[in-house]
Chain A
Amino acid sequence: MAKFIKKRGRTSPAINTSALPDIIFMLLFFFMVVTVLRKSSLKVRTEIPRATELVKLRHKSLIQHIHIGAPIDKERGNAPVIQINDAFVRPDAVETAARMFRQNAPELQRGLVTTSLKVDKKVDMGIVSDVKISLRKASQLRISYAALPRDNE
């Protein structure tokens, strides 16, 4: 009877992990390609509003970001300011910045240049209107109000 209960070696064989680095490297390369490192650090607080009719922006290199919100640095007060790249700018200086960005874009893709306005939801429209006028003067007419998705009702 007892001969059926043959005890085989219960120790499991060691798992071969020599392919593990390859798998990890594959993941690594994926994330390396996907990552876009943030070029500028945010100096204004922008809590963007939610909306439903969103369009995804393509061509990441052709998007100019303009942040509008209260400065994070409390010593600068509470009035909303405009940040482009790494600096605070006045509303009328947006025109030059937009022109420069447009000029640096490849000529064939200049029509696709989009300005993404990341505006804090507590900001009044006054400063946004000023920026819009500056953008119109720079004939940078494709803009996008950045927003987060919201469920329908």
Chain B
Amino acid sequence: MLKKRKERPQNSINAGSMADIAFLLLLFFLVSTTILSDQGITVKLPPWEITPPRPIPEKNVLTVKVNAANELLVEGEPASVSALKERAKEFISNPKGSPELPTRPKNAVISLQNDRGTNYETYLHVYNELKAAYNELWNQRSHRLHGKAFADLGKAAKKEILQEIPLVISEADPTDYSGD
């Protein structure tokens, strides 16, 4: 009596639109992705509780000042930002052994001071040049010692060079002549 159940026809799922759906999702993620990774000039700030600095001989300090009008003063004389890198390199490495400059790169201190009215872009430009001077010196040293770029060195070799030419950019409290 029981009716034999009819076999239902096995209809296959149409997967043709699957690609479209996947495309849609793909486009969403493509648009929302930022491949561009964060990059910038890294800086290590000094701790807040400062121990009073020991007096440093005048010849070991390169004073760089940027005022509110974005003018640059190196060792009390007006200078241009484009020449700053070479100036800093000469100061740090002291290739001619001048008695006016630090005897060893280890002693060199670059003192950077800006005004509260200094434009941020100018400030970063100056900082970039100073960092570039150090980077070039490290690269030179690394090429002489190991024959390859500083970035390709191992940790220990990097540390050795950094001990020889430490990055010392000391920032004084900004002046406030901006008048606001």
A126-153 interface bits toward B, Cβ cutoff 8 Å, 1 = contact, 0 = none: 1011001101110101111111110000
Nearest 3 pairs between A and B by C-beta? A126-B116, A31-B29, A121-B121
Chain B residue contacts of A51, Cβ below 8 A: 40-41, 124-125, 128
Question: In whole Å, how far is A54's beta carbon from the nearest beta carbon of chain B?
Answer: 5
B153 at the interface (CB under 8 A from A): no
Show 28 residue pairs from A and B whose CB-CB distance is below 8 angstroms, ordered by the A residue.
A24-B23, A25-B22, A28-B29, A31-B30, A34-B35, A35-B29, A49-B120, A49-B125, A51-B41, A52-B132, A54-B39, A55-B41, A56-B39, A117-B40, A122-B119, A124-B120, A125-B114, A126-B180, A128-B123, A135-B45, A139-B48, A143-B44, A144-B39, A144-B40, A145-B40, A145-B41, A145-B127, A149-B39
Name A141's contact: one of B26, B29, B45, B135 (CB within 8 Å): B45
Name A142's contact: one of B44, B46, B125 (CB within 8 Å): B44
Cross-chain contact B120 with A144 (CB below 8 angstroms): no
Residue of A nearest to B38 (CB): A57
Expressed in whole angstroms, the Cα–Cα distance for A34 and B32 within the complex equals: 10
A107 at the interface (CB under 8 A from B): no
Secondary structure of the B contact surface, majority rule: mixed
B interface, CB within 8 angstroms of A: 15, 18-19, 22-23, 25-26, 29-30, 32-35, 37-48, 114-121, 123-125, 127-128, 131-132, 135, 173-174, 176, 178, 180
Chain A residue contacts of B174, Cβ below 8 A: 125-126, 129
Residue of B nearest to A35 (CB): B33
Q: Kindly name the residue among A53, A142, A145 whose own CB sees the greatest number of chain B CB atoms within 10 A.
A: A53
Chain B residue contacts of A129, Cβ below 8 A: 114, 116, 173-174
Expressed in whole angstroms, the Cα–Cα distance for A56 and B42 within the complex equals: 9
Cross-chain contact A128 with B47 (CB below 8 angstroms): no
Cross-chain contact B117 with A126 (CB below 8 angstroms): yes
Chain A residue contacts of B32, Cβ below 8 A: 35, 37-38
A8-38 interface bits toward B, Cβ cutoff 8 Å, 1 = contact, 0 = none: 0000000001101100110110011011111
Expressed in whole angstroms, the Cα–Cα distance for A53 and B135 within the complex equals: 8
Cross-chain contact A132 with B45 (CB below 8 angstroms): yes
User: Contacts A35-B33, A119-B120, A125-B117; is A28 near B22 (CB within 8 Å)?
Assistant: yes
User: Contacts A56-B37, A56-B39, A124-B118; is A141 near B178 (CB within 8 Å)?
Assistant: no
Expressed in whole angstroms, the Cα–Cα distance for A117 and B124 within the complex equals: 12
Question: In whole Å, how far is A60's beta carbon from the nearest beta carbon of chain B?
Answer: 7
